[in-house]
Amino acid sequence: MTSAVLKPGLTPSRVLIYAVLILACLMYLVPLVVMLLTSFKTPEDINSGNLLTLPHVFSTLGWVKAWATVRGYFWNSVAITVPAVLISTAVGALNGYVLSMWRFRGSQLFFGLLLFGCFLPFQAVLLPASFTLGKMGLANTTAGLVVVHVVYGLAFTTLFFRNFYVSVPEALVKAARLDGAGFFTIFGRVLLPMSVPTIMVCVIWQFTQIWNDFLFGVVFASGDAQPITVALNNLVNTTTGVKEYNVDMAAAMIAGLPTLLVYVLAGKYFLRGLTAGAVKG
């Protein structure tokens, strides 16, 4: 006789867990809801209503004004983030491949020194980076910000890929070598197709870090070369004229949408890629 499998019911402890999770979700969602509702309100509606009330008249004027203000800086952030993410991910993949599959004298020391870059705060590299960009003629330019973010992100992307490639069976690489595959053939045709989760981790990590960066943007760029985070700060801290909170909230939503879109499209790979390499074999 087979025994029936009883599904666990809603015990008091489970109900408490669900209640805490729902409360935490509400706490995180309330600011987003307030921003979204405020962005569609008129200034008169904002001054006369409650933060959580629906707009009496839905108005997109705040979004139109916000986009007109931050449009150029938005595309600056795109021009900085996309190449920096692609370059740092590609070079990090190659570094991780070399450090895990092609050991050489001093490779462990090199990896340790590179790993040290993960613990350097942004403030520690401001003066050296400023001096280097000045010597290269890239000060206050979009290209200069790309270089800074690529260099700063290489430690993280190398770490992610190296940890993943260490878990790949050595027999797979040896078999490819016996078949006549060389350095780049093994990398491009054997390991890289297996690295999609780790690539997604690097893309999400680097995109979030670079797109949301404010310190490098305000230090290494000026004027029309600044990213959207700096423009958003300038817009919110403007004190001249009547404060238009609907424009501020719409601009903040515009600045946050690309990161949200990246997480929605590639988020399912994030946890899988982070745990890659946790178990060897």
Sign (positive or negative) of CA dihedral 11, 12, 17, 23: positive
pLDDT for position 146: 93
* Nearest residue to 219 via CA among 144, 155, 153: 144
10 versus 85: the higher-pLDDT residue is 85
Neighbours of 67 (CB within 10 A): 15
pLDDT for position 87: 95
pLDDT for position 1: 43
pLDDT for position 254: 93
**In whole angstroms, what is the distance from residue 138 CA to residue 146 CA?**
10
Chain segment 249-270, per-residue pLDDT in tens: 999 999 999 998 888 887 677 6
Query: 225 near 212, Cβ under 8 Å?
Result: no
pLDDT for position 271: 66
Confidence of residue 20 (pLDDT cuts 50, 70, 90): very high
Sign (positive or negative) of CA dihedral 214, 218, 219, 225: positive
* SS3 at position 52: coil
Write phi, then psi, for 279 (nearest 5 degrees). -125, 125
pLDDT for position 258: 92
Confidence of residue 239 (pLDDT cuts 50, 70, 90): low
**Looking at residues 192-215, what average pLDDT do you find?**
90
Residue reference for tokens 């979009």: 142
Burial of 264 (0-12, 13-18, 19+ CB in 10 A): exposed
